[in-house]
Amino acid sequence: MKILLFCAFSFLALTLQAEVKICAHCGKGSRFMRYSAEGKDYCSMKCAKARISCFNCGQVPRGRYMICTGINGENRRFCERCSQFKKCFSCSSPAESVRVFTDGRVQCMPCSKKVFSFEETEKLMNQIRFDLKKMYGYDTQHRITLRLVNKNALRNITQSDDVMGCMKTLVHTETKIRGLKKTETKKWQCTLYLLDHLPSVAAAKVIA
């Protein structure tokens, strides 16, 4: 009995001496926090789940977990189980439910819902050219032809697996002679090759 009372008083003393911490989600103070991660404390699993749940399964990660940057720049956390899934080529996040393309790429469903059509992508390209001219005086007067291609075609053009787009430019010189006067005119033929199935945000970054 004395031993039990001693243990109880010892526990009470430690509790009173413990530093009061503030929950990073609800703001409540407590000497005992249920969960700690990334230098922050949470008073309950409910609070932890609201801030640091796995992007895929929604559970609070136990042990090691992965942090990825989403397509809009937000942090996405993935528990150890979900981090083993195939990674989306658009945002590099692992995903259980994906679209699979013939060239071997996979894409998570959040990214697939933000993919522009060819017409929308072409409109986006023209808008970016307009904005560059208006904001920075960068004028690209020559015509640019847009081509959406898969990973294999882009690899053949760039000889690389690490790019999402490239610009190819050909210059044609036309020479005209009238009497003793010779004039040369240069015509630019520009083609923007862009990886297909890119979400609008990723496409805008490549075009710019």
Q: Report the percent of the chain where pLDDT is more than 70.
A: 80
CA dihedral 74, 135, 203, 158 (to 10 degrees): -120
Q: What is the pLDDT of residue 152?
A: 93
Over range 125-132, report the average pLDDT.
87
Q: What is the pLDDT of residue 172?
A: 58
Highest-confidence segment of 66-75, 78-87, 142-151: 78-87
Instruction: Please indicate whether residue 98 or residue 72 has the higher confidence score (pLDDT).
Output: 98
Confidence of residue 129 (pLDDT cuts 50, 70, 90): confident
The CB-side HSE value for 55 (13 A sphere, CA atoms) comes to 21
Confidence of residue 6 (pLDDT cuts 50, 70, 90): very low
Distance of CA 45 to the CA centre of its chain: 28
Q: What is the pLDDT of residue 50?
A: 76
Given CA atoms 135, 139, 142, 146 in this order, what sign does their dihedral have? Answer: negative
Q: What is the pLDDT of residue 85?
A: 94
Over range 183-208, report the average pLDDT.
83
Position 91 pLDDT exceeds 70? yes
| Structure tokens given for 85 | 């899934």
How far is residue 143's CA from residue 103's CA, in Å, rounded to a whole number? 30
Q: Dihedrals φ, ψ of 133, to 5°? A: -70, -45
Q: What is the pLDDT of residue 5?
A: 42
Instruction: Please indicate whether residue 174 or residue 111 has the higher confidence score (pLDDT).
Output: 111
38 CB-contact burial (10 Å; exposed 0-12 / middle 13-18 / buried 19+): exposed
pTM: 0.66
DSSP for residue 83:
G
| 63 contacts 80 by C-beta, under 8 angstroms | yes
